[in-house]
Structure 1
Amino acid sequence: MSEAGVIHDIGYQRYSGPRLGRAAVFGALYQHGLRATFGLGRSAKSKIFPWGVASVVLLVAVINAAVRSQTGTLLFDYYQFNDTMSWLVIFFVAIVAPELVSRDLRAGVLPLYFSRPLRAADYVWAKVAALITGVWLLLGVPQLIMFLGAAFTTKTGMSGVWDELGLLMPGWAYSLLWAFVFASISLLVASLTGKRAFAAGGIVAVFLMTAPVVGVLSIMPSDTAQHLAGLASPISLINGVEIWLRDRTDLGLDIGEFGPIYAIEAFCLITACLLLLLARYRKVASL
């Protein structure tokens, strides 16, 4: 009897197709994250809340466009639309951000993600980009509806359309600022726990519990403290940037001459959250 081993050919073949690399993995992860933002490809239960919020936001935009076309009265402009929808945006990111990152932490699949060729930075930027896109679409699509309603009912022809477009573009830029602030903060909080309920509660707490601090600082006897009070809350911080850029005084927040400080803090807040998020996942990848 021969003791030599025998190799049996059972039909397996080496993969000879294209190897797409990190860019393709990043794109696939971004696409998956964006779909997960709105519950696409998941159960009906996962679609209820994001599409429910999106439906309410769209309905408000349609009502605003209808009232403007019928009466000529503008309930709110593109900037005010974001401010009005702030509470819905908070609850949207509180549900979606844990869906994007907490699920992976709890399932323990990150070591698989961070094997070659995907890196921790790729994972972080894909998730951040997906949520930024989701929040911007949540606000930007209704703003587009408002624009179309105004464009089709304008009485000044193409000049009116161009004027309205000139108002829409800054409104979209303002929505992008909202998306960056909300996405960076919510993903950082959600990355700290694998339990989605805890992550959602933490995100809501960050946005809501900072609001009373603004109220306390705004009644301080010092004018400087009153002007800087809005720096204590993400929502009032964004409002402060709007007040500075548009020279508005009707938002209930007095920033005095500290408008540039609000813009600098908004930039620093976004940058700090993203760097901390990256450090968090580099630590996870090294475990």
Structure 2
Amino acid sequence: MSAETDARTGTAAGLAAGSPAVAGSGDSRIHNIGYRSYDGPRLGRAYARRSLYTQSLRGAYGLGRSAKSKVLPMILFGVMCLPAAIIVAVAVATNLKTLPLSYTGYALTTQAIIGLYLAAQAPQSVSRDLRFKSIPLYFSRPIERSDYVLAKFAAMTSALLILTGAPLVILYVGSLLAKMDFVEQTKGFGQGLVSVAVLSVLFGGLGLVVAALTPRRGFGVAGVIALLTISYGAVSVLQVIAMTADANSAVKWIGLFSPITLVDGVQTAFLGASTSFPGGSGPSTAFGVIYLLVVVALVLGSYAVLMRRYRKAGL
């Protein structure tokens, strides 16, 4: 009995001293591993959502990741800005009175670069989380499914807005350096920002949906490229055929079936931009309402599909 009493006394003393203690005989052990309660601030869902947004936005440009991850997004960003820099240099050197490329036409002209960027970064944003099963780690924190989807959606939209908005800033600053009309350039710059904002929200949602449908990044890249290029190619061919057949009204209806032509139609109808539709006849303001409704439906639909995707994944 004395030995047992001494063992218990030693155990209690060890725990009181905060050091590992052993009690009992055989393999039975009691260890003080030093658990302590957390008395710091509880930052909650809003902080977790902001952190996920910031991390996703930084990741879209390779920040905080390996040097190899920074190469492609930074190259595409540079290629996106290069034409604007060249236009500015020519405008300043030759004293041009207007820019040779409009603010609203810049993103449509460089749509291939935007498509490549989206195809590369949308899978990086969501496919890797699914593939490596890191999603449950997010939801072990005070964050819900809607927080995750909103943070990823907002981050991809912001990344695209930076990509498409930076060249417009270069054009605007260059036009002022070339002493072009301030009011005209400011108006055009504002219209361009609205146009690329619509493009960023639409493209960001569609890109994330395609990428979230598969945990394989390669499939996500191919899917995003196919969505943008095949739809635009098919719509462009059909519009030319309709124009050749004198079915001018059909040209506008066909334009509803491609993300690129949707943005073209919206900015033509509401921002006074020149259209790239065959014949140079874009949708009127009344018909543009249909284009705008389709854009809104696609954005909301993208959010709903993403929510369903993560619900189906058991999150």
Task: Determine if the TM-score, normalized by the shorter chain, exceeds 0.5.
Answer: yes
Match of 1:200 in 2: 221
Partner of 1:237: 262
CA distance in 2, matches of 1:173, 1:246: 8
C-alpha distance 20-131 of structure 1, shift in aligned 2 (>3 A): same
Which moved further from structure 2: 92-101 or 274-283? 274-283
1:268 aligns with 2:297: yes
Q: Distance in 1 between matches of 2:132 and 2:214?
A: 12
Alpha-carbon distance, 1:213 to partner: 2.8
Cα contact 1:178–1:238 (8 A) shared by 2: yes
Separation (CA, whole Å) in 2 of partners of 1:229 and 1:59: 33
Task: Give the root-mean-square deviation of aligned CA atoms.
Answer: 2.0
Q: What is the distance in 1 between the residues matched to 2:79 and 2:149?
A: 30
For 1:109-258, list aligned pairs within 5 A: 109-154=134-179, 160-218=181-239, 219-220=241-242, 221=245, 222-248=247-273, 250-253=275-278, 254-257=281-284, 258=287
CA offset at residue 164 of structure 1? 2.0
Deviation at 1:12, TM superposition (A): 4.0
How far 1:81 moved relative to its partner?
0.8
Give me the whole-angstrom Cα distance separating, in 2, the residues matched to 1:77 and 1:223.
25
State TM-score, norm by structure 1: 0.91
Shift of 1:154: 0.9
- Compared CA separation, residues 26 and 251, structure 1 to 2 (3 A): same
Which residues of structure 2 form unaligned runs of 5+?
21-31
Describe the SS at the equivalent of 1:228.
helix
Question: What amino acid maps onto 1:213 in structure 2?
Answer: A
Shift of 1:256: 4.6
SS in structure 1 at match of 2:313: helix
Percent identity, aligned pairs only?
35
Q: Which moved more, 1:256-265 or 1:25-34?
A: 256-265
Gaps of at least 5 residues in structure 1 are none
**Match of residue 18, structure 1, among 31, 34, 41:** 41
SS at match of 1:210: helix
Does structure 2 retain, via aligned residues, the 8 Å contact 1:120–1:285? Answer: no
Distance of 2:119 and 2:109 partners within structure 1: 18
What SS does the corresponding residue of 1:108 show, helix, strand or coil?
coil
Structure 1 counterpart of 2:161, which letter?
W
- 8 Å contact from structure 1 (residues 110, 285) kept in 2: no
For the pair 1:279 / 2:300, whether they are aligned, the reply is: no
CA shift for structure 1 position 285: 3.8
TM-score by length of 2: 0.84
Match of residue 85, structure 1, among 102, 105, 110: 110
3-state SS in 1 of match to 2:140: coil
